[in-house]
């Protein structure tokens, strides 16, 4: 197989430039993933580099999986032992090997997610009597303090509160062998600094290092790569300064210049051919981004010349803007497009509400990116906590989560006494149950819990991993507790069944006995994020902020609410911030493959008041000949919000319809959302709680899609 076949000249040069530092500035849709994976395959098959000597890091598990899948197809080799992963997964894997060198932490550390981290902060603040302050704000400050090297708190009182909470927070993590996401990179760097021989070991191990989305690296991530690549300097970074949009997470666009300064012999390669969008869309994107100074000049071009000019629509009102989008979706689906071909993009989440309302009204299926992920659901987190205690009886954090899930009448005072016993015996809460001799309410339940869990642990090697879940459900009383809530039972048990599928796959993917496989899976699950779930097969319209869809593409894209104060954001006060907003605009434009619609409105009901809006300055920066203004003379498509098969002239929702005859507590059925419970009524409008993933919806009670059960 000719690995270089199908590559353009610049892509081929990037693949074949194997020695020394290389920086590839890869524009949107220029095939950077193809270049990265081909380069790895080239190193292995053409140069004979062992796969274990190559490190490739990216920012999402989804991107890492795609790279592995492509390499497997190219070379027909097993990739599960390759070091191709996110920054956090790489650090987690390395720390599982070396963490004993950073006492008091051990290799059996547990990684906590944002929700767990926030709970720890809440508990500390409650203990310290700091209830007047917002725990989420303090947790964010703790995270920023770890990720931003130049982070300062200007408010003296807030700084004082942070100092108190942060000290106790870090101490709690150490005492319980816990790491949050931020700690993974921090502890890896700390490990290298305190143990030079360990750093040297991995410098020799990784002869070739590749970094994806380099423009999104923060200072810590850059330092990590710099340390690892210092010996051989065969470091290959791919990024796009046009798409640096994550400064709020600590990303440093300055790392691009820093790299070229630190690695003086850097070879710069530009990928300027776009394989995604039409020429017309790219020309509009170029016209926007050229207003940013101090960037590596490149001019994206496409061979897809048979396209239409992007469309611009200036609406009379936010209702008019929404209906314009609905009309276009109806028009294009009638012409053969599917719902999955559409994305509605906005700068701020609050913009989605009006679109959601009308998509529901016109029975158009949709999904919002960045919603609650599968692994963030309570029942899944509970099951994982049970599995963690089975795999590691030293995991006090997971033990505390499940000891009263379901309720066992084990109160705080008993847990406090058990903690004292654990400290006295220098062991974990779970193991200290055996030596706990005091009586009192809940002790028998505590002993019984340990007996049940010991029984499950003794069967780990005798049953399949997915059967462990069945044992947990039946032996602990968890499923019986779920059954008490009839409305949510089916959905929650369905989620747990899906978790069993994950465990079944783990049995085939990981090596070793069941306990080893379980430990490896739990470590990987800790690193899952909201963006890792594959929903590409769902036939629905996507609603999203620009940040959530970076790296994705759609046939038809709507960029809505392009107004001053919304986009660019009203929070932008410096030229640097405006430049990043402009890069966000560039990212939005370049998500579109065939058709791009840009819209704004004359007035918008915003934050409880009617506001008159000004078009975004970015629209003014666009050359008028590069888009088609359809604001004048636009003829609305005739659509019927009730019957999808017939179309009549659309009017605003009637206010004369008969009021819905619903009361709080009524059970209803919705054609799209299934069964739900009425929790509030307000005239014709009812608020209904549906099962996940739909959640709380406000609906017109008189709508024919709704019926009372």
Q: Which of 116, 182, 183, 213 is catalytic?
A: 213
Determine if the peptide bond prior to 104 is cis (ω within 30°): yes
Any catalytic annotation for residue 379? no
Q: Which of 212, 283, 320, 491 is catalytic?
A: 212
Model's pTM, two decimal places? 0.79
- The confidence band for 450, taking pLDDT boundaries of 50, 70 and 90, is very high
The C-alpha atoms of residue 10 and residue 17 are separated, in whole angstroms, by: 11
pLDDT of residue 248: 86
Structure tokens at 131: 């209830």
Structure tokens at 296: 């590596």
Any catalytic annotation for residue 249? no
The CA–CA distances, whole Å, from 82 to 54, 189, 358, 502, 508 equal 8, 21, 47, 21, 17
- The confidence band for 438, taking pLDDT boundaries of 50, 70 and 90, is confident
Structure tokens at 164: 């108190």
- The confidence band for 659, taking pLDDT boundaries of 50, 70 and 90, is very low
Instruction: Using alpha carbons, select from 676, 622, 521, 632 the residue that is nearest to residue 281.
Output: 622
pLDDT at 704 over 80: no
Report yes or no: 541 and 344 within 8 Å, Cβ to Cβ. yes
The average pLDDT across 630-637 equals 65
pLDDT at 524 over 50: yes
pLDDT at 57 over 90: yes
Report yes or no: 599 and 321 within 8 Å, Cβ to Cβ. yes
Report yes or no: 166 and 145 within 8 Å, Cβ to Cβ. yes
Give the tens place of pLDDT for each residue, 310-358: 999 999 888 899 999 999 999 999 999 999 999 999 998 888 888 988 8
Instruction: Using alpha carbons, select from 500, 519, 478 the residue that is nearest to residue 382.
Output: 478
The C-alpha atoms of residue 138 and residue 75 are separated, in whole angstroms, by: 48
pLDDT at 653 over 60: no
pLDDT of residue 151: 85
pLDDT of residue 643: 37
Number of H helices, E strands in the chain: 25, 24
The C-alpha atoms of residue 669 and residue 117 are separated, in whole angstroms, by: 38
The CA–CA distances, whole Å, from 343 to 67, 126, 339, 543 equal 25, 43, 9, 6
Q: Which of 33, 79, 279, 427 is catalytic?
A: 33
Q: Which of 243, 278, 394, 545 is catalytic?
A: 243
Give the tens place of pLDDT for each residue, 535-578: 556 899 999 999 999 989 999 999 999 999 999 988 888 999 99
**Cα radius of gyration rounded to whole Å, the chain:** 28
What does pLDDT average to over the chain?
88
pLDDT of residue 370: 65
- The confidence band for 632, taking pLDDT boundaries of 50, 70 and 90, is low
Which range is least confidently modeled, 472-486, 585-599, 654-668, 686-700?
A: 654-668
pLDDT at 599 over 90: yes
The C-alpha atoms of residue 469 and residue 499 are separated, in whole angstroms, by: 8
The C-alpha atoms of residue 384 and residue 35 are separated, in whole angstroms, by: 37
pLDDT of residue 152: 87
The C-alpha atoms of residue 644 and residue 392 are separated, in whole angstroms, by: 55
pLDDT of residue 537: 65
- The confidence band for 529, taking pLDDT boundaries of 50, 70 and 90, is low
The average pLDDT across 90-95 equals 95
pLDDT at 701 over 90: no
The average pLDDT across 451-476 equals 94
The C-alpha atoms of residue 110 and residue 397 are separated, in whole angstroms, by: 8
The average pLDDT across 301-317 equals 91
The average pLDDT across 214-237 equals 96
Give the tens place of pLDDT for each residue, 236-255: 999 999 999 988 888 899 99
Residue 615 is classified by DSSP as B
Say which residue, 562 or 377, is predicted with more confidence: 562
Determine if the peptide bond prior to 397 is cis (ω within 30°): no
The average pLDDT across 593-611 equals 86
Give Cα 66 to chain centroid, integer Å: 16
Q: Which of 377, 388, 591, 604 is catalytic?
A: 591
Q: Which of 32, 68, 550, 593 is catalytic?
A: 32
pLDDT at 511 over 90: no
For CA atoms 238, 240, 246, 247, give the dihedral sign. Answer: positive
pLDDT at 211 over 90: yes
pLDDT of residue 502: 85
Give Cα 591 to chain centroid, integer Å: 18
Say which residue, 298 or 237, is predicted with more confidence: 237
User: What are the backbone angles phi and psi of residue 511, rounded to the nearest 5°?
Assistant: -100, 165
Any catalytic annotation for residue 533? no
Give the tens place of pLDDT for each residue, 111-122: 998 889 999 999
Which stretches of 510-572 are DSSP H helices? 514-525
Any catalytic annotation for residue 524? no
pLDDT of residue 647: 28
- The confidence band for 631, taking pLDDT boundaries of 50, 70 and 90, is confident
Any catalytic annotation for residue 212? yes
pLDDT at 668 over 80: yes
The average pLDDT across 13-19 equals 95
- The confidence band for 664, taking pLDDT boundaries of 50, 70 and 90, is confident
Say which residue, 375 or 311, is predicted with more confidence: 311
User: What is the residue-wise DSSP string for 80-110?
Assistant: TTSEEEEHHHHHHHHHHHHGGGSTT--TT-E
Any catalytic annotation for residue 470? no
């Amino acid at each position: 197989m000719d690995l270089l076949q199908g590559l353009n000249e610049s892509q081929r040069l990037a693949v074949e430039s194997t020695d020394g530092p290389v920086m590839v500035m890869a524009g949107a849709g220029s095939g950077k993933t193809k270049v990265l994976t081909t380069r790895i395959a080239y190193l292995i098959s053409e140069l004979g580099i062992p796969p274990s000597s190559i490190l490739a890091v990216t920012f999402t598990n989804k991107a890492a999986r795609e790279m592995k899948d492509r390499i497997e197809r190219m070379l027909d080799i097993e990739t599960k032992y390759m070091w191709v992963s996110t920054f956090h997964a790489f650090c987690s894997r390395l720390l599982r090997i070396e963490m004993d060198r950073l006492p008091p932490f051990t290799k059996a550390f547990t990684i906590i997610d944002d929700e767990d981290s926030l709970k720890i902060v809440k508990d500390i603040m409650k203990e310290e009597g700091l209830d007047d302050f917002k725990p989420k704000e303090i947790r964010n400050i703790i995270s920023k303090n770890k990720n931003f090297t130049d982070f300062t708190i200007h408010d003296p009182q807030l700084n004082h509160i942070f100092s108190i909470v942060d000290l106790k927070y870090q101490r709690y993590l150490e005492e319980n062998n816990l790491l949050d996401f931020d700690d993974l990179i921090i502890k890896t760097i700390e490990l290298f600094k305190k143990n030079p021989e360990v750093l040297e070991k991995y410098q020799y191990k990784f002869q070739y290092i590749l970094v994806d989305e380099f423009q999104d690296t923060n200072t810590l991530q850059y330092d990590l790569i710099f340390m690892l690549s210092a010996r051989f300097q065969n470091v290959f970074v791919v990024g796009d300064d046009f798409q640096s949009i994550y400064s709020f997470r600590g990303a440093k666009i300055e790392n691009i210049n820093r790299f070229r300064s630190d690695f003086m012999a850097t070879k710069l390669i530009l990928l300027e051919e776009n394989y995604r969008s039409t020429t017309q869309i790219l020309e509009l994107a170029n016209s926007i981004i050229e207003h940013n100074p101090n960037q590596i000049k490149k001019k994206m071009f496409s061979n897809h010349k048979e396209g239409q000019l992007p469309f611009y629509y200036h609406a009379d009102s936010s209702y008019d803007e929404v209906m314009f989008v609905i009309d276009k979706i109806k028009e294009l689906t009638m012409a053969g497009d599917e719902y999955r071909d559409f994305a509605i993009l906005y700068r701020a989440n609050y913009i989605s509400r009006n679109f959601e309302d009308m998509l529901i009204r016109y029975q158009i299926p949709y999904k919002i990116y960045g919603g609650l992920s599968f692994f963030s659901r309570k029942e899944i987190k509970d099951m994982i906590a049970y599995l963690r205690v089975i795999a590691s009886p030293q995991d006090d954090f997971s033990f505390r989560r499940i000891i009263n899930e379901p309720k066992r009448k084990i109160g705080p005072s008993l847990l406090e006494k058990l903690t004292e016993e654990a400290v006295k015996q220098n062991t974990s809460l779970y193991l200290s149950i055996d030596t706990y001799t005091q009586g009192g309410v809940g002790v028998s339940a505590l002993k019984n819990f340990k007996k049940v869990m010991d029984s499950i642990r003794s069967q780990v090697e005798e049953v399949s991993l997915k059967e462990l879940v069945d044992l947990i459900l039946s032996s602990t009383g968890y499923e019986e507790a779920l059954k008490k809530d009839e409305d949510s039972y089916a959905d929650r048990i369905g989620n747990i069944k899906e978790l069993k599928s994950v465990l079944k796959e783990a049995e085939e993917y990981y090596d070793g006995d069941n306990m080893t496989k379980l430990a490896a899976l739990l470590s990987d699950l800790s690193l899952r994020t909201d963006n890792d779930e594959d929903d590409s097969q769902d036939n629905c319209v996507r609603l999203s902020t620009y940040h959530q869809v970076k790296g994705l593409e759609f046939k038809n894209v709507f960029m809505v609410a392009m107004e001053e104060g919304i986009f660019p954001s009203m929070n932008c006060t410096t030229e640097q911030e405006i430049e990043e907003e402009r890069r966000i605009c560039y990212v939005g434009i370049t998500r579109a493959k065939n058709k791009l619609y840009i819209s704004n409105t004359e007035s918008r009901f915003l934050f409880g008041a009617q506001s008159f809006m000004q078009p975004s300055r970015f629209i003014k920066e666009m050359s008028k000949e590069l888009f088609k203004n359809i604001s004048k003379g636009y003829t609305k498509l005739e659509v019927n919000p009730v019957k999808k098969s017939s179309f009549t002239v659309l009017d605003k929702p009637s206010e004369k319809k008969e009021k819905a005859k619903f009361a709080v507590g009524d059970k209803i059925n919705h054609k799209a959302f299934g069964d739900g419970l009425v929790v509030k009524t307000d005239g014709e409008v009812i608020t209904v709680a549906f099962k996940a993933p739909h959640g709380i919806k406000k609906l017109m009670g008189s709508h024919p899609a709704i019926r009372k059960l």
